[in-house]
Amino acid sequence: MNHDICLVDRVMSMLYYTLLIAILISVQAAPKTKDHAPARSSAKSRIPHHTHRTKSLHHSHGKLEAKEPSYFRNVTVDPKLFRKRKFRSPRVLFSTQPPPLSEDFQHLEYLDDEESLNKTIRAKRTVHPVLHKGEYSVCDSVSMWVGEKTKATDIKGKEVTVLGEVNINNSVFKQYFFETKCRDPKPVSSGCRGIDAKHWNSYCTTTHTFVKALTMEGKQAAWRFIRIDTACVCVLSRKGRT
């Protein structure tokens, strides 16, 4: 009898310890509320932070897109780009102020040297010959300095980006183009002035030439031939021909 009682006590003790160990293991394995509460709150706090960061990135990206048209303005370039004479054209000028059409070039700061400036003056004299009394142009033209050119066609027929401003030694120089174009395709009712309308059809048209201009190639400034308006000429075709 005593033997049976001892056996029962041993079994009960083993069950008790087994149950106690199981409880301890389950308590250690169970997630603690204090440990996970900050994790949930930190996860929540990270989500708005990530969202805010994404919005700020989109916002900053929008700012970049808004400033894109002026991205190629006031670009710092190496002064060595202007030392080679082969890149100079009498119709392309870098100046701190809009150049006048007259020969009053005082109070203007040019990037070119004096010889190049004299070339520019002589070129404009040649482009616009003085008409004496009784002389008339076959076509009427208008010339101006263009300083807001952003796009142009290069010699390969490809559209390129024109560099509007350059920064050299903390001085900003704007790129100007001296362009000439027709004022009217028909200065008189029959077409070009002074043409025998009985035998000829005529009209005035703007012609182009290519000049070396400073453009953007990738993220670098580079010289390239671009097309600009340079003259107004009369085009003739004999009447009666098909």
Q: Is the pLDDT of residue 62 over 90?
A: no
pLDDT at 129: 56
Question: Can you tell me whether residue 26 is helix, strand or coil?
Answer: helix
pLDDT-based confidence at residue 187 (cuts at 50, 70, 90):
very high
Distance of alpha carbon 61 from alpha carbon 73, whole angstroms: 19
Q: Which of 96-110, 161-175, 222-236 has the lowest mean pLDDT?
A: 96-110
Sign of CA dihedral 16, 21, 22, 28: positive
Q: Is the pLDDT of residue 109 over 60?
A: no
Contacts of 222 (CB under 8 A, 6+ apart): 214, 215, 216
Distance of alpha carbon 113 from alpha carbon 173, whole angstroms: 14
Q: How many CA atoms lie within 13 A of 87 on its CB side?
A: 16
Q: Is the pLDDT of residue 18 over 80?
A: no
User: Which range has the top average pLDDT, 58-62, 130-134, 235-239?
Assistant: 235-239
Q: Return mean pLDDT, the chain.
A: 70
* Mean pLDDT, residues 1-21: 61
pLDDT at 31: 46
pLDDT at 45: 36
Q: Which of 10-14, 41-45, 153-157 has the lowest mean pLDDT?
A: 41-45
* Mean pLDDT, residues 228-238: 95
Q: How many CA atoms lie within 13 A of 158 on its CB side?
A: 7
CB 94 within 8 A of CB 111: yes
Residues facing 46 on adjacent strands: none
Strands (E), 16-130: 75-76, 92-95
User: Which range has the top average pLDDT, 17-26, 27-36, 49-58?
Assistant: 17-26
Domain 89-98+135-241 architecture? Ribbon (2.10)
pLDDT at 229: 96
pLDDT at 19: 65
Q: Which of 36-40, 135-139, 199-203 has the lowest mean pLDDT?
A: 36-40
CB 144 within 8 A of CB 237: no
Q: What is the DSSP string of 220-240?
A: EEEEEEEEEEEEEEEEEEETT
Q: Please, what is the Cα angle at 129 between 236 and 136, to 5 degrees?
A: 50
Is the whole-model pTM more than 0.75?
no
Distance of alpha carbon 214 from alpha carbon 1, whole angstroms: 114
Question: Can you tell me whether residue 187 is helix, strand or coil?
Answer: coil
